[in-house]
């Protein structure tokens, strides 16, 4: 199974909103509500930001939100702040052989 | 608060076996959660390797399944990864991670770089 498709880069100015897409297939993103998003700063381990499409772990600001439509999921970051500049990865359960897929990652720049 | 710490050799020769251990503190492995391994080649994205449930049930990435073994050691509260017949393509930062859901990794180790080279 192929990795999920994400745009390589995204950008926005402080205070603005930006949305990052994650496109899969009817066998993964489209089939299950098990989509997560991770934030990774350079040299650091990834951090869970969204799970089960639109749920936020404790401590994650409500500026981060997730959604899904068909075979595509999205992460929206509202009120952009400098510290949001990082790589973002989506992940989806792919059923079948209990596989887990990651997207290729999106580098978010806060201009 | 669950804390994870990877350990193991940073250099492995081609065709040999990569072995890593993840020590868990702040939570008993036998209490639940999924325990998994994820890797990231230098400058590239994340790749799921596999996971094990506290019961011992294992699930692997189909592309790595023939070379991977994940096991749990409840007496020492740790779990391990073995990847055999390694090549340069297996050079990566290896993370151990855990969480409650199928793609929900709440807790991560700091990561350990493993280089495959002679």
pLDDT tens profile A44-77:
999 999 999 999 999 999 999 999 999 999 999 9
> A34 vs A54, A92, B3, B67, CA distance in Å?
10, 6, 24, 27
Nearest-Cα distance to chain A for B4, in Å, is: 11
Residues whose CB falls within 8 Å of the CB of residue A27, separated by 6 or more in sequence, listed in order: A1, A94, A95, A96
Mean pLDDT of A23-45: 96
* pLDDT interval class at A1 (50, 70, 90): low
Q: Between chains, do B46 and A105 touch, taking CB under 8 Å as contact?
A: yes
**Average pLDDT, rounded, for chain A:** 95
Nearest-Cα distance to chain A for B110, in Å, is: 6
Number of Cβ within 10 Å of residue A69's Cβ equals: 9
Mean pLDDT of B83-112: 96
| pLDDT, tens digit, 9 for 90 and up, residues B9-44 | 999 999 999 999 999 999 999 998 999 999 999 999
Among A36, A45, A105, beta carbon nearest to B103? A36
* pLDDT interval class at B117 (50, 70, 90): very high
| pLDDT, tens digit, 9 for 90 and up, residues B66-83 | 999 999 999 999 999 999
- Nearest chain B residue to A3 by CA distance is B47
Among B51, B65, B109, beta carbon nearest to A45? B109
Q: Between chains, do B103 and A34 touch, taking CB under 8 Å as contact?
A: yes
In chain A, beta strands by DSSP E: 9-12, 18-23, 35-40, 47-50, 64-69, 72-77, 86-93, 100-102, 106-110
R_g of chain A computed on alpha carbons: 13
* pLDDT interval class at B101 (50, 70, 90): confident
Q: Between chains, do A45 and B95 touch, taking CB under 8 Å as contact?
A: yes
Q: Are A60 and A10 in contact, with CB atoms under 8 Å apart? A: no
Residue A76 has what pLDDT? 98
Q: What are phi and psi of B34, to 5 degrees?
A: -95, 145
Token pair listed for A103: 């997207």
| pLDDT, tens digit, 9 for 90 and up, residues B57-69 | 899 999 999 999 9
Dihedral-angle region of residue B109 (phi above 0 means left; psi in -120 to 50 means alpha; beta otherwise)? beta
């Amino acid at each position: 199974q192929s990795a999920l498709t994400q745009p390589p880069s995204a950008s926005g100015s402080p205070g603005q909103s930006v949305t990052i897409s994650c496109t899969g297939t009817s066998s993964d993103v489209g089939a299950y509500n098990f989509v997560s998003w991770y934030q990774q700063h350079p040299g650091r381990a990834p951090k869970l930001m969204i799970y089960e499409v639109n749920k936020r772990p404790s401590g994650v600001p409500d500026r981060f939100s997730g959604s899904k439509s068909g075979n595509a999921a999205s992460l929206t970051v509202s009120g952009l702040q400098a510290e949001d500049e990082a790589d973002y990865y989506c992940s989806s359960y792919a059923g079948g052989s209990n596989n887990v897929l990651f997207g290729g990652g999106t580098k978010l720049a806060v201009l | 608060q669950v804390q994870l710490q990877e350990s193991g050799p940073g250099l492995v020769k081609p065709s040999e076996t990569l072995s890593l251990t993840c020590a868990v503190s702040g939570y008993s492995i036998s209490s639940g959660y999924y325990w998994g391994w994820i890797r990231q080649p230098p400058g590239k994205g994340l790749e799921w390797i596999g996971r094990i449930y506290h019961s011992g049930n294992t699930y692997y990435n189909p592309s790595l399944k023939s070379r991977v073994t994940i096991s749990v050691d409840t007496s020492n509260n740790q779990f391990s990864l073995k990847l055999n017949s390694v090549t340069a393509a297996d050079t990566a930062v290896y993370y151990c991670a855990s969480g409650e859901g199928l793609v929900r990794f709440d807790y991560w180790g700091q990561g350990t770089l493993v280089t495959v080279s002679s």
